[in-house]
A and B are shown apart, each in its own frame.
Chain A
Amino acid sequence: MTSNATEENAADLVHESPIVPDNDIPGDVAQKPARHLELTEEERRIERRVRRKIDLRIMPVVILVFLMNYIDRNNYAAARLQGLEADLHLVGNEYQTGLSVLFVGYILSQIFSNLLLNFCGRPSLFLGFFTGLWGLISALTALVQNYQGLVACRFFLGLVESPFFAGVMFYLSKWYVSRMRKC
């Protein structure tokens, strides 16, 4: 199927069946069969200007947050070379368990985090809360004194990262339209 066929197919489907209202888009705009709507020249100019404003606010913050998340992921490997195992008296496979349990928490909370999005009233608050939360848990890893504490800490870290990612993706989907991202 070419993309044109897909779009026409989708547009026809939308026309023939009730449009599912999207709660963030004002009622009168969402209910119209919008495939006949086009932006006027004037509107296109306004839209480009606003788009730049949006990009300047959203992208730096989102990039910063993602970068910190990935760096945090690498910390555990680097920490091993900085004396983590000796300080926490880890023996045998305990370091590996600390690594593995993060993913257990992450996978377990994936379903829950997608459900949690239904309660995402203000995305900025939702994102800010979960980012701050996993930053806090990550910083508190510095207080861990033994293996048990490490496992608990890593598990909860995985647990809060999932809502964070779900939130970021949901948020980006509300601000960036497909045509914008195709270029």
Chain B
Amino acid sequence: MVRFPNAQVLMVCRYGKEALSFRTSLFFSGLLWSGAFGNLIAAGILSGLNGARGLAAWRWLYIIEGCITIFAGFCCWLILPDFPETWKALSPEERRVITKHLAIDSATADVDAAGFGSQKQGFKEAFKDSKVYVLSGAYLSTITASSFQFFFPTLVATLGYSHIVSLLLVAPPYIFCVFYTWLHGWLSDRYKKRFWFFFYPIPITIIGFIIFMTTNNFGARYFSFFLMVFIFAPESMVFAWASASIPRPPAKRSVAMAIINAIANCGSIYSPYFYTPNQSPYYRKANGANIAFCVAAMIFATLHRWQMGRENSRIARLENEDVPLSDKDMQVLRKTAAIEGTTVETVREQQKGFRYML
């Protein structure tokens, strides 16, 4: 499944960083619900429409889904209002209130002032920051490891049941996953920790892969699917963590998100090739590769945690006014001040009490 850069960027801009993880998991769970229902619909079509009017079941599947989508496109055109000013259903009074509210918000929200060339600078800063690349690596690894989702029906089919039953059996692990990622995101926000919540589901996923690779028992193999879906939990919160680690300036943050998303989605380009057909039923090569990328994700996450821990201790050191600042510290402060358009003293003052969320 593709990750949606702009959705995540927007949610980052719109929510406080503490509450972000729960909301991104809500959004992300939409993907997972559709994983359940898409397969249930496919099972229904397979049992009812296979061969009808000379078309195979999969052709019917695409026709039906495509037509519903075209209908949704018509709904967009007919129902969605364009802008508050042009929406005829609003009275002039209501129109004025809404536009005023939007204007107030855009003036006090997290904006870049035009005067500092901040868009271009944010762009350059994002490319130069090593945190962006470490986070991209972590996200890329989780996306690669979660590539089994594209072959979920095939993997379930190795359990030996008919195709219709296999499609039905795909749904429960997804449904479990939806509720689990909600809980996971909520807990991550509550305890204000990002690293451990990214880290702990990955060993569970590895265990799931290992069970699938080694046993023949139906119960154990089906249970392993429920363990495999734990990889979606860190995926759902990686943008929340990224936004907490790269908070300012906003231009840099949105470019950083786009870079992370672009690099990470490349994981979906090569990962389908892990699942060559001759590996059935254990898919040892594919699962082995997935385990390797899980380990890579853990390494990148640890590296990022180390980077942010270092940043936090630097801020703690700078808070102590009496300690003379080293050259390097002054350089960093001067650079931040230049980007923000303020003085070194202001930057130092603002950073008091601030800590990156680990």
Which residue numbers of A lie inside 8 Å of B, CB to CB?
1-3, 5-7, 9-11, 13-14, 16-20, 22, 24-26, 29-30, 32-35, 37-39, 43, 46-47, 49-50, 53-54, 57-58, 61, 63-84, 87, 92-93, 95-97, 99-100, 102-104, 106-107, 110, 122-125, 127-143, 161, 165-166, 168-179, 181-182
Inter-chain CA distance A175–B31, complex, in Å, is 23
Q: Which residues of B contact A63 (CB under 8 A)?
A: 30
Contact of B150 (CB < 8 Å), options: A76, A104, A142: A76
Q: Which residues of A contact B228 (CB under 8 A)?
A: none
Q: Residue B138 at the A interface, CB < 8 A?
A: no
Contact of B97 (CB < 8 Å), options: A46, A97, A110: A46
Contact A135-B67, Cβ < 8 Å, known A19-B107, A100-B270, A128-B73: yes
Contact A79-B61, Cβ < 8 Å, known A70-B34, A100-B273: yes
Question: Does A68 lie within 8 Å of B61, measured CB to CB?
Answer: no
Question: Does A43 lie within 8 Å of B150, measured CB to CB?
Answer: no
Q: Residue B176 at the A interface, CB < 8 A?
A: no
Question: Does A35 lie within 8 Å of B108, measured CB to CB?
Answer: yes
Contact of B66 (CB < 8 Å), options: A7, A95, A139, A175: A139
Distance in Å: Cβ of A19 to nearest Cβ of chain B: 7
Contact A171-B62, Cβ < 8 Å, known A10-B110, A46-B97, A132-B73: no
Distance in Å: Cβ of A11 to nearest Cβ of chain B: 5
Contact A70-B1, Cβ < 8 Å, known A75-B65, A78-B39: yes
8 Å CB contacts to A: which residues of B321-358? 340-342, 350-351, 353-354
Look across to chain A and name the residue whose beta carbon is closest to the beta carbon of B67. Answer: A139
Contact A47-B97, Cβ < 8 Å, known A2-B354, A58-B80, A61-B75: yes
Distance in Å: Cβ of B26 to nearest Cβ of chain A: 11
Q: A-B contact count, CB below 8 Å?
A: 351
Q: Which residues of A contact B34 (CB under 8 A)?
A: 67, 70-71, 73-74
Q: Residue B240 at the A interface, CB < 8 A?
A: no
Main secondary structure of the interface of B (DSSP, over half): helix
Look across to chain A and name the residue whose beta carbon is closest to the beta carbon of B51. Answer: A83
Q: Residue B52 at the A interface, CB < 8 A?
A: no
8 Å CB contacts to A: which residues of B264-284? 265-266, 268-270, 272-273, 275-277
Question: Does B41 lie within 8 Å of A71, measured CB to CB?
Answer: yes
Question: Does B56 lie within 8 Å of A82, measured CB to CB?
Answer: yes
Inter-chain CA distance A110–B10, complex, in Å, is 16
8 Å CB contacts to A: which residues of B7-24? 7, 9-11, 13-16, 19
Question: Does B98 lie within 8 Å of A50, measured CB to CB?
Answer: yes
Distance in Å: Cβ of A142 to nearest Cβ of chain B: 4
Contact of A82 (CB < 8 Å), options: B6, B45, B248, B353: B45
Question: Does B80 lie within 8 Å of A171, measured CB to CB?
Answer: yes
Q: Residue B262 at the A interface, CB < 8 A?
A: yes
Q: Residue B207 at the A interface, CB < 8 A?
A: no
